[in-house]
Amino acid sequence: MIYGVGTDLLKVERIHAAFLARGERFARRILGEDEFKIFQSRYQRNENRGLLFLATRFAAKEAFSKAIGLGLRSPMSWGIVQFVNAPSGKPMVKLSEPLLSWCAERRLSFHVSMTDESDMVCAFVVAEIQANETQK
């Protein structure tokens, strides 16, 4: 059963401006530790690829916060939800406490889609309630 749906569409120039103004501090505020390592690697190879990565993660976190219905209120915060790729390349949600427990109590799982163009990024998140074993 669907718990919630969230989407976010974002101009990359907005993230670029924030990064230029605040630098690495901005990226560290938005990204979790695993994401930050990926961002650094991509940014060092190609600044535009790094900024697209940062922008897609920003959009995904906005979409995620909408899907769970909290916005950016506790227990939701930027760094405790991360979007990392499975070996297949599929984006996956990685949660830390206290959001991990909050989502587990509600039996939530997530489906994520992110896309980018040179000037825009979009993210879509579906939060789904997993059925109890007795309901299957």
71: left (phi over 0), alpha (psi -120 to 50) or beta: left
* Tens of pLDDT, residues 2-13: 999 999 999 999
Low-confidence ranges of the chain (pLDDT < 70): 133-136
* Tens of pLDDT, residues 56-82: 999 999 999 999 999 888 999 999 999
| pLDDT score for 134 | 57
Domain parsing of the chain, residue ranges: 2-135
Maximum CA extent, the chain: 53
Residue 33 annotated in ligand binding: no
CATH classification code of 2-135: 3.90.470.20
Residue 116 annotated in ligand binding: no
